[in-house]
Amino acid sequence: MRSDVDPDPWPTENPTRVALVTGASGGIGRAVAERLAADGMTVAVHYAGRRDRAQDVVDAVTAGGGQAVLVNADVADEHEVATVFDRIEQELGGIDVVVHTAGIMLLSPVEELDLDEFDTMHRTNVRGTFVVAREAARRVRRGGAIINFSTSVVKLALPSYGAYAATKGAVDALTMILAKEMRGRDVTVNAVAPGPTATPLFLEGKSQEVIDRMASLPPLERLGEPGDVAEAVSFQAGAGRWVNGQVVYVNGGVA
């Protein structure tokens, strides 16, 4: 599949910091993009297949007085991802924060999982994370941040999440090692591990009974909201300079 960076004009004057948010066309990715824009960053809103939803994010950011641009790529394609980074550098002057929220979740007991589905998740969740993280490690400016997305299910070990959690366990390992490899660069590398969060990705295919049961797990007795997760990302992208090489669980206290 061939994707190109969106050809629309980009702003000629930008705030000091520039962020790329992958998977920003909906759910947690949208909340992250809007929050970083509210923090004063110019945000490159990445999408893979839903340009209309990504444009809605850009429109929301600009309506609020922020700056946002569209970028389009298959996150597992290293050439397309490099093209996105190239244009961000050329048009916006550099890149300071990379938040990789793009991912897919297919649920099944291990013994029943179609291996084609496992390969699909692996390509997006593992290879895609590696490709984006590799490019970010080469490009992010001093004082910047790389933030990957894991899941609390790695720790919770819920049935039917085996293959998905396995892909995110790889993200955890990559994150902690990359943080050490960035020594001397003044770039933090962390992962956010949301718990049950009210997004289309989480809610799709679940009965109300299952949703209610998941909402009862945290001591706070509710599902997380995308804004809860975006708050944690904002901290890591900004003031949280002493948080590094960590998988930060954002799940309301689920254990």
Any catalytic annotation for residue 164? yes
Enumerate the H helices of 114-159 as residue ranges.
115-121, 128-139, 153-156
Neighbours of 114 (CB within 10 A): 11
What radius of gyration, in Å, describes the C-alpha atoms of the chain?
17
Starting at the edge strand that comes first in sequence, how are the strands of the sheet with 68-72 ordered?
68-72, 42-47, 18-22, 97-100, 145-149, 188-194, 247-250
What length does the chain have?
255
Tally Cβ neighbours within 10 Å of residue 177: 12
Query: Is 75:102 a contact under the CB 8 Å cutoff?
Result: yes
CA distances from 232 to 27, 42, 82, 97, 175 (A): 15, 18, 27, 14, 16
Catalytic residue among 47, 161, 164, 249: 164
Instruction: With beta carbons less than 8 A apart as the criterion, state whether 98 and 41 touch.
Output: no
What residues are annotated to the active site? 164
